[in-house]
Amino acid sequence: MVLEDIKSIMISEEEIAKRVKELGKQLTEDYRGKELLIVGILKGCMLFLSDLVRAIELPLTMDFMVVSSYGTTTKSSGVVRIIKDLEREIEGKDVLIVEDIVDTGLTLSYLVENFKSRNPKSVRICSLLDKPDRRKAQVDIEYVGFKIPDEFVVGYGLDYGENYRNLPFVCVLKPEIYTKK
C-alpha cells in the first residue's frame, strides 16, 4: 500500500491548488503582451504544469524536455543528460521553465545556460518546490510555489523509482523506503 510508505503530508492538496492559482495570476500579469513559451521538464512537472497552465489567462505555447542527473538514485550525479530536447525554436521568445523541484540547482543551472545560447528574449524559472538547503549551483527561481526543508518528498508529480507521482499532495517518504538495498 502506498500510504503506508508515507511519513507525513508536507503540503496538502488544498494548499497546492491555492498556490498554483496565485502563481497563475502572477504569471498572467507578468507575461501579458509577451510571446510566452512554457517548457516543462518531464516527468515530474506534469501535474503542476497541467494545473498551472490552466491558471494562466493568456495565449501560450508549450514544449517539453526530458533531462536527468539522477538516474535511479536519490542523489544527483551532477552530470546533466538531455534525453529529449525541445521541438520548438526559442529564439526571441519569453521562456518559462517549469520544474517540480529545485534542490542542487545543477540541472537548472545547466539548462538556463543552454537556453541562453539559443537567444530567447528571456528565460525564467517557475518551480513548485524549492529546497535551498541542498543548493550547489546558483539559480534564480523567479516563481516558487513552496520553500521546503531537506526532506525526501514525493507526490503531485514527484517520484521515487517512478512511484508515488499520482498522490494529490506532497509528502515525506519514510527513509526505510528509499534506503533499502
pLDDT tens by residue, 16-45: 999 999 999 999 999 999 999 999 999 999
In a domain, residue 91? The reply is: yes
Active-site positions read 103
Residue 89: inside a domain: yes
CATH number at residue 44: 3.40.50.2020
Q: Is residue 18 part of a domain?
A: yes
DSSP β-ladder status, 81-84 and 94-102 = unpaired
pLDDT of residue 78: 64
128 found inside a domain: yes
Residues of the chain above pLDDT 70, percent: 93
Does residue 46 carry a pLDDT above 90?
Answer: yes
In terms of DSSP bridges, do strands 170-173 and 6-11 run parallel, antiparallel, or are they unpaired? antiparallel
Q: Which domain holds residue 139?
A: 14-150
**Domain contains 170:** no
* pLDDT for the residue numbered 80: 82
Q: Is residue 87 part of a domain?
A: yes
Q: Are 120 and 94 in contact (CB under 8 A)?
A: yes
**For residue 174, cis peptide bond before it (omega within 30 degrees of 0):** no
| pLDDT tens for each residue of 151-172 | 999 999 999 999 999 999 999 9
Residue 6 resides in a domain: no
Residue 176 included in any domain:
no
pLDDT tier at 179 (50, 70, 90 boundaries)? confident
**Domain count within the chain:** 1
